[in-house]
Each structure stands twice: as structure tokens, then as C-alpha cells.
Amino acid sequence: MLKKILGIVFILCILSICICYAGGLPHVKMIIDSKSYTGSNSATLINGMIFVPAKITADKLKIKSYVSKENGKSRIKFISKKNTVICFVGQKQINLNGSKSFIPLAPVMIDSRIYIPVSLFENYFGISSSYNPKKNFVKLFSNIKPEKKKKADDDPAGMINTLLQGGSSTEKEKDDDDDINIDNIE
């Protein structure tokens, strides 16, 4: 009887720790390419490190992602033109383009959602990020410039003549976007 009571107390302690852990993590507003995500779609801070929700972050950064179970463990696969990364919740070992590699922080499961350290996106998919602890937000930038739209008054005949002469149909256009130093944003 005493063993059963101690077992129940132990289970209740573990459950209360899990509930406190999941519910007590601070939400961090997430901004991806100028669009804001809060609430259940926000990032979180774990031991001073930023973790982002895997699926929504990958989708918004145009990285294909697939979540599945393998041997009872939650598995997520990210695919981009640059890399393919497979990782498991709770494991620092990853599969990077078919080879074994390691990341400093393991993915975690919080409220049935997989969170990935933002450094995984930075290191393997060329994403830039900055964290502002004063205003409690993290910004992620995909570093992929959108294609320039052709002007309505482009001359199709001129482009055809250029192609026939062995030239390119498009010229490099100067990028007029003003870059903002994200380190100085407050």
C-alpha cells in the first residue's frame, strides 16, 4: 500500500513539474520577414535560448517540413535547396544531408508542439535572427530577396532581339531596399 501511495505521489510530482515547465515558459513575440506571430505561434525562451515552433517557422521561411513518429519518438525533417536536416525531440544528434552531426541544443516538445533552437535555422538554412530582450521579440529573416516584378512597359520585342543576339533578357537591377541594422533596433 505504501508503495502505491509513493508511486502516485511521484507521478503527481512529475506531472506538476511538466505542467509548470510547459505553462511557465515565457512567450517571445516572433517576427518572420516583417510578419508578427504571438500567442501559441510565438517563440519561447528556455534557459536563455530562443526556441521557435518548428512547423510554422519552417513554413513561413519557405522550408519544407514533415513531422512524424519514428520508434515512438517525434521526428521532424526540414528540406531546402541547401540542406536536409532530420532531428528528433530530446536528441542533439541530427542527420544532415545523410551524415550524422550534432547541435548544441535538442528540440523540445511543449504542449504537443515541437520547438527548435533558432540556431538550427541559422546554421543550416541561412536564416538571420536577432533577439531584443527589452521588447521581448525575436526577428527572423529568410535572406531570400523576392523576385523583381517586370515593369508593365517592358518591350517584349526588345527582349526577344536581345536573346537572339546571345544576350540576357534581364538586366541586373540595383537594389533600392534600405537595409536596417537590426542590432540597433530598440
- What pTM, to 2 d.p., does this model score? 0.63
Return the bridge partners of 130, or none. Answer: 139
Lowest mean pLDDT among 12-16, 92-96, 168-172, 174-178: 174-178
- In this prediction, residue 157 has a pLDDT band, given cuts at 50, 70 and 90, of low
Q: How many CB atoms lie within 10 A of CB 73?
A: 12
**Placement of cell 517576427 in the chain:** 31
**For residue 165, what pLDDT is reported?**
52
* Gap between the Cα atoms of 168 and 132, Å rounded: 43
Is residue 156 predicted with pLDDT exceeding 90?
no
Distance CA(38)–CA(138), nearest Å, equals: 11
Greater model confidence, 35 or 171 = 35
pLDDT of residue 141: 87
What pLDDT band is residue 75 in, cutting at 50, 70 and 90?
Answer: very high
What's residue 98's pLDDT? 95
C-alpha cell at 81: 535547396
Q: Which residue has the higher pLDDT, 89 or 144?
A: 89
Residue 33, pLDDT score: 84
**CA dist., res. 64 & res. 149, Å (int):** 25
Least confident piece of the model among 12-21, 54-63, 87-96, 175-184: 175-184
d(CA 38, CA 28): 7
Looking at per-residue pLDDT, the higher value among 182 and 30 belongs to 30
pLDDT-wise least confident of 52-56, 106-110, 129-133, 176-180? 176-180
Query: Which three cell numbers, joined as nine digits, stand for 157?
Result: 520585342
> pLDDT tens for residues 23-73?
567 889 998 888 888 887 889 999 889 999 999 999 999 999 999 998 889
Supply the pLDDT for residue 167: 52
Per-residue pLDDT, 10:
54
Distance CA 40, CA 111 (A): 9
Query: What dihedral do alpha carbons 73, 79, 84, 87 form, nearest 10°?
Result: -20
